[in-house]
Structure formats: structure tokens, C-alpha cells
Amino acid sequence: RQPLRSVSVAPPHSVSDCLRHGNSSDARAVRAVCLLMGGAAASSALGYLSSCSPTSPLVTRAPEIAQGSGAFSDLPTGGSFHTCSQDFSKTYGPVITVYLGWQRIVVLVGYDTVKEALVDQADDFTGRAPLPFLYKATRGFGIGISNGDRWRQLRRFSLTTLRDFGMGRKGMEEWIQEESKHLRAHIRKFKGKPFDPTILLSRTVSNIVCCLVFGQRFSYEDKQFLNLLSVISNIVRFNSSPMGMMYNIFPWAMEQLPGQHHTVFARIEEIRDFIRIKIQEHRETLDPSSPRDFIDCFLFRAHQEKDNPSTEFHYDNLFATVMNLFIAGTETTSSTIRYALSVLIKHKNIQEKMQKEIDTVIGRERCPSMEERKSLPFSDAVIHEVQRFLDMVPFSLPHYALEDISFRGYTIPKGTSIIPMLHSVLKDEKQWADPHSFDPQHFLDQNGNFKKNPAFLPFSAGKRACVGESLARMELFIFLVALLQDFTFSCPGGPDSINLIPEYSSFANLPRCYNIIATPR
Ligand code: HEM
């Protein structure tokens, strides 16, 4: 493979100036650098870097987990796009321009930079890039991909409606507690025999979003539900694979080539059919005086605005937003719970310490509630550290310059995709004592009290931050604590067989699948 050619440039007035300037020293604290990539190098930046020559100056190895040591040592990061960006920033500064194919992308590295962009200059950075896969899947509609007034209306409506149905509040807590009983009852059926929890956890987590959006939960045996979950899993896996990344860079070319993407798009039709039927059922049984769920509220709003020709409350936006919530609300949270179980199996002492704390504060009978989180600082710290260490969505969803943006003395031209590198925030050496090690102490003070860290941004920050954050955090806490009340987790190969390095590491860091053993306590 060709190594990336990097050009260090004079402090540019515009990032695109980088292309025109020659070498020069840069006295500013912030420097922009253009990394001009050839075709092969572009693919390197998409996750192939690990296969480049280790002597390449652009491939820097992060410290490795000592396999089998049982110690919390470091995570090998190979050379994926997000880890390389962090390495580049050491040389070029925290604002970097990369060219993937012909796409100009500005990468923001480190907590200070990401926070300054997404929070302090929130209005400038709310745009969403037209990510080809997401765009095609939703045809440009829905909260996830849209911009401007459409996005503002859908975002406001989604947040208010999800809150009205209890997101982040007591009502939702009860649903999650109820679902955790189904989960535990199902796990008991394995009678201590090994099983792969992947699909089971997806069913559990997805049922919460289904209650919110469709007004119903599905039985764990429901074949159609299972099929939809496998489609969702395929979508996320595809987007995290090199092929998926290639699709997002060269969509036109990829459309002409055979490959997995055609199968994935064909299977998305199954989700579409399901949502279509659900919306139709809701239409036929709608009672505006008592909306049952998100779809009812949207239909009611669409009815209210039916004489407004420019309304955003129409079928296409309902359809795509339901799809966004259904997909985003399933894989992210269930994979995080699965990863937490792997961490606890690998590090038995942490599992025991959590169980002890839970036994003391809640006991084994009562369902955990969010109120009790304050009294469980160690468990809370472990859950936070799981999210930080997994780094589920390492470069967030790409943002976009809808207009020229002035940032730290540079102009980011209109039409530039912007990656707020969450990975570099969650592993920022200035913010975390030992960022590449799993250590719950990152969230504990000397007295063992829970300690917040502003760089804990797995859900991103600012106006475009995850709409499901409070729901996801509630699910992580209640499901994990309830599981540890009832079971001790281990695996057939023993703790050393667990590899905490994600199986896929690009768009999403997807943890590896293991058979686990849940021994009733
Ligand atoms: C551990 C779980 C989760 C993680 C780590 C996560 C992370 C993220 C991240 C990083 C973004 C992009 C933010 C940005 O553009 O700056 C995002 C967006 C989004 N998430 Fe989540 N998420 C999780 C769970 C959920 C859940 C449970 C839901 C639904 C109920 C959800 C719905 C969404 C939606 C709709 C967006 C797009 C928001 C917009 O474009 O305005 N997420 N999430």
C-alpha cells in the first residue's frame, strides 16, 4: 500500500488553503494539515491501516492488552481511522483535514476541540453530513439525516414526545424493570449452560424502544421480531465493515459493483414493510384523545397540520424517524450491555465488588431503580467506564458545514463533513489518568464517591447529541444491576479467553460475541 502523503502547511485562512500552501512553520497552537490521500491510502484510513507496514510513520501502535494477564492493561488499536487521527493530531494539531477519495473531511481531535465546536459553537456545528448509507436507507427523511427546519421540528417533536412517554422518568423505569424480569426469566431457562446472549439482549433492549414507538413489546419467541433484529444487526455490522465504509465514500461506484451492500439494502425492505404495517394499524385505531405511543402522537400532529403545505409532519418523516429510533435504540445499548458482561467475566474481582455493593444497598429481591444509582457509586463508575472504554461510536455520526464555519481562526468551507472524534475525547490523555486502561477509578474520588468527568461524551454533545441518551443510561443501569442481583457470570473458556478488543472497529466498535454462563446466585 502507498503510505499517506502528508503536507504540513502555513496557517491557512481556510482549510482548503491547505491544498494551495507549501511548507511553512506554524506558530499557532492550532494547525490544520491536509492529508492528501491516494486511492489506496483512502482505504487505509478506512480501517486497513493495521495491515500497513509498521514502519510507516502513519501507523502508530497503541499499547496492548496483556492477553491472559487478567490485568487492566491497554487496548491495541491497530490503525483504524479514529486511532490514526489521534496520532496525526500529535503532529498536526487538533484540527485536521483529510481527503477520503474526493470528500473533504475536517476531523476534530480531543476534548477541548470537540467541546468548543459542539457546545460553544453549537449553532455552527449542528449540520449532519449526507452519509450515503443512511441517506439511501431513509431517502433523506427523518431526524437522523435531516438538516435545517426539518431537523429542528423533528428533533423538538421527538424529544418532547419521548419525554412525555416517560423517557428518563419513572414511567420508563417501570417498563425497563418489567423487561428485566423477562430477561432474567429467560436466562434462568439456560440452567447454567453456556449461551450466546447477543440476540437475547437485543430483544430485551429493543422491546423498550418498541414500547415507546409502537406501543407494544414482542415475545422473545416472536419470529418476525427476531428477523428484524437480525436485519438491524446486519445494518450496523455492515456499516462498521470496510465494505460499508467504502460504500459511504464511493456510493456511486459501489452501486455498480456486486456485494453485500445490495443484500443489506434488500433486507432493509423488511424493516420498511414492518413499519409500514405498524403505521397503518395505528392509523386505523387512532384515538386523538389518548395517544398510545410515538406513532400516534406523530399522526395526530400530522392531522393538525394537514392544511399546511410545508409541514414536516408527513408520512416520509414519520417512517424514517421511526426507523432511526428503532435501529439506533437497539444495537448500541444491547452491545454495550454485552460488552459490560465480557468485562465483568474477564475481571471477576470487579464483578464481585459490584455484587457486594448491590447486595448491601438493594438486596436481591427488589428491582433496582434509578434513585439507587447515587448509593451505588462503584457500580455506576463501572458502567460509565464500560461506555468510555468501549467507545461505541468512535467518530460519532458525521456533522456538516451547512455554511462556511469560522473555527479557531480557520474557515471550514460550506459542504465539508466534520468528524467530532469522540474516540479522542474518551481516550484524551489530558482528561483521563490512564485512558487506555479499563479503570473504574476514572469515575471515583479518593473516598469512593462517584466523580463526573466532562469528557465522558459517548453520546456526543451539543444540539445534535443522541436523543436516546437518558433512555440508554437508564437501560444500562437497570438491566446490568438486575442481572448481577440474580446471576454470577463466567464463560466456558475462562476469563483469559475474553478479548475486549472490538470485533469491528470503525463506524461502531462492536464487541466480540461469547458464549457465557449465568450461574443463579
Ligand atoms: C449506548 C447507547 C447509545 C449510544 C452510545 C449512542 C450514541 C449516539 C451518538 C454518538 C450519536 C451522534 C450524535 C452527534 O451527531 O453528535 C447519536 C445520535 C442519535 N441517537 Fe443515539 N446512542 C445510543 C442510544 C440511543 C437510543 C436508545 C436511541 C433511541 C431511543 C438513540 C437515538 C439516536 C438518534 C435518533 C440520533 C440522531 C440524533 C440527531 O441526528 O439529531 N440512541 N447517538
Provide the residue count of the chain: 521
CA–CA gap between residue 502 and residue 117 (Å, rounded): 28
DSSP sequence for 394-457: TT-S-EE-SS-EEETTEEE-TT-EEEE-HHHHHT-TTT-SSTTB--GGGGB-TTS-B---TT--
Residue closest by Cα to atom 13 of ligand 1: 465
Compute, in angstroms, the gap from residue 76 CA to the centroid of ligand 1.
Answer: 26
Asked if residue 328 has its Cβ within 6 Å of ligand 1, the reply is yes
Looking at residue 52, its pLDDT comes to 26
Residue closest by Cα to atom 11 of ligand 1: 466
- Residue 310 pLDDT > 80, yes or no? yes
Looking at residue 91, its pLDDT comes to 83
Average pLDDT over residues 338-343: 97
Asked if residue 377 has its Cβ within 6 Å of ligand 1, the reply is no
- Element counts in the chain: helices (H) and strands (E): 19, 13
CA–CA gap between residue 254 and residue 262 (Å, rounded): 9
Looking at residue 22, its pLDDT comes to 29
Spell out a b/e string for 463-495, using b for 16 or more CB atoms within 10 Å of the CB, else e: ebebbbebbbbbbbbbbbbbbbbbbbbbbeeeb
Residue closest by Cα to atom 19 of ligand 1: 466
Cβ atoms within 10 A of the Cβ of 284, count? 7
Confidence of residue 503 (pLDDT cuts 50, 70, 90): confident
Q: Which residues contact 480 (CB under 8 A, 6 or more apart)?
A: 337, 340, 379, 383
CB 342 within 8 Å of CB 497: no
Average pLDDT over residues 473-491: 97
Compute, in angstroms, the gap from residue 206 CA to the centroid of ligand 1.
Answer: 14
DSSP sequence for 6-58: EEE----SBTTHHHH-------SSS--EEEE--HHHHHIIIIIGGGS-TTSTT
Ligand 1 atom showing the smallest separation from residue 422 Cα:
10
Poorest-confidence range of 51-55, 149-153, 218-222, 247-251?
A: 51-55
Poorest-confidence range of 21-30, 36-45, 101-110, 176-185?
A: 21-30
For residues 16 and 283, the model is more confident at 283
Cα 320 vs. chain centroid, distance in angstroms? Answer: 19
Q: Which triple of cell numbers denotes residue 329?
A: 435504540
68 CB burial (10 A radius; 0-12, 13-18, 19+): exposed
Asked if residue 329 has its Cβ within 6 Å of ligand 1, the reply is yes
Compute, in angstroms, the gap from residue 120 CA to the centroid of ligand 1.
Answer: 20
Structure confidence by residue, pLDDT tens digits, 398-416: 999 999 999 998 899 999 9
Report the DSSP pairing between strands 103-108 and 417-420.
parallel
Q: Which triple of cell numbers denotes residue 338?
A: 454485552
Ligand 1 atom showing the smallest separation from residue 396 Cα:
10
CA–CA gap between residue 457 and residue 438 (Å, rounded): 16
Report the DSSP pairing between strands 95-100 and 410-412.
unpaired
At residue 268, φ and ψ (nearest 5 deg) are: -60, -30
Compute, in angstroms, the gap from residue 395 CA to the centroid of ligand 1.
Answer: 12
Cell 511553512 found at? 24
Compute, in angstroms, the gap from residue 97 CA to the centroid of ligand 1.
Answer: 25
Q: What H or E segment, with its residue span, contains residue 487? A: strand 487-490
Cβ atoms within 10 A of the Cβ of 253, count? 11
Compute, in angstroms, the gap from residue 333 CA to the centroid of ligand 1.
Answer: 10
Looking at residue 170, its pLDDT comes to 64
**Which residue, among 266, 278, 275, has the nearest Cα to 141 in the 3D structure?**
275
Compute, in angstroms, the gap from residue 485 CA to the centroid of ligand 1.
Answer: 28
Residue closest by Cα to atom 43 of ligand 1: 466
Ligand 1 atom showing the smallest separation from residue 158 Cα:
35
For residues 458 and 505, the model is more confident at 458
Q: Choose the residue to mutate in 337, 399, 459 for probing ligand 1, maximizing ligand atoms within 8 Å of C-beta.
A: 459
Average pLDDT over residues 295-320: 93
Average pLDDT, the chain: 83
Looking at residue 69, its pLDDT comes to 27
Looking at residue 246, its pLDDT comes to 85
Cβ atoms within 10 A of the Cβ of 156, count? 11
- Integer CA distances (angstroms), 99 to 93, 102, 320, in order: 17, 6, 30
Residue closest by Cα to atom 1 of ligand 1: 333
Structure confidence by residue, pLDDT tens digits, 372-394: 999 999 999 999 999 999 999 99
Ligand 1 atom showing the smallest separation from residue 461 Cα:
16
- Look up residue 16 and give its amino acid: S
Asked if residue 459 has its Cβ within 6 Å of ligand 1, the reply is yes
Confidence of residue 63 (pLDDT cuts 50, 70, 90): very low
Confidence of residue 79 (pLDDT cuts 50, 70, 90): low
Looking at residue 9, its pLDDT comes to 28
Compute, in angstroms, the gap from residue 311 CA to the centroid of ligand 1.
Answer: 25
Looking at residue 189, its pLDDT comes to 95
- Residue 482 pLDDT > 80, yes or no? yes
Looking at residue 154, its pLDDT comes to 97
- Look up residue 338 and give its amino acid: R
For residues 228 and 4, the model is more confident at 228
Asked if residue 392 has its Cβ within 6 Å of ligand 1, the reply is yes
Structure confidence by residue, pLDDT tens digits, 239-266: 888 888 888 888 888 889 888 889 988 8
Compute, in angstroms, the gap from residue 392 CA to the centroid of ligand 1.
Answer: 11
- Look up residue 55 and give its amino acid: T
Structure confidence by residue, pLDDT tens digits, 270-297: 998 999 999 999 999 998 888 889 999 9
Residue closest by Cα to atom 36 of ligand 1: 466
Q: What H or E segment, with its residue span, contains residue 33? A: strand 33-36
CA–CA gap between residue 223 and residue 118 (Å, rounded): 41
Cell 476531523 found at? 107
- Reported pTM: 0.86
Confidence of residue 78 (pLDDT cuts 50, 70, 90): very low
Looking at residue 167, its pLDDT comes to 64
Question: What is residue 65's DSSP assignment?
Answer: -
Cβ atoms within 10 A of the Cβ of 191, count? 9
Q: Choose the residue to mutate in 466, 478, 507, 510 for probing ligand 1, maximizing ligand atoms within 8 Å of C-beta.
A: 466
Asked if residue 172 has its Cβ within 6 Å of ligand 1, the reply is no
CB 44 within 8 Å of CB 99: no
For residues 481 and 259, the model is more confident at 481
- Look up residue 279 and give its amino acid: I
Compute, in angstroms, the gap from residue 391 CA to the centroid of ligand 1.
Answer: 13
Question: What is residue 76's DSSP assignment?
Answer: P
Asked if residue 465 has its Cβ within 6 Å of ligand 1, the reply is yes
Looking at residue 169, its pLDDT comes to 61
- Residue 326 pLDDT > 60, yes or no? yes
Poorest-confidence range of 75-79, 87-91, 328-332, 403-407?
A: 75-79
Report the DSSP pairing between strands 417-420 and 399-400.
antiparallel
Compute, in angstroms, the gap from residue 135 CA to the centroid of ligand 1.
Answer: 16
pLDDT > 70 in the chain, percent: 83
Looking at residue 15, its pLDDT comes to 31
Looking at residue 260, its pLDDT comes to 87
Confidence of residue 429 (pLDDT cuts 50, 70, 90): very high
Give the per-residue SS3 of 268-293: HHHHHHHHHHHHHHHHHHCCCCCCCC
Q: What is the ipTM of this complex?
A: 0.99
Compute, in angstroms, the gap from residue 397 CA to the centroid of ligand 1.
Answer: 9
Cα 445 vs. chain centroid, distance in angstroms? Answer: 27
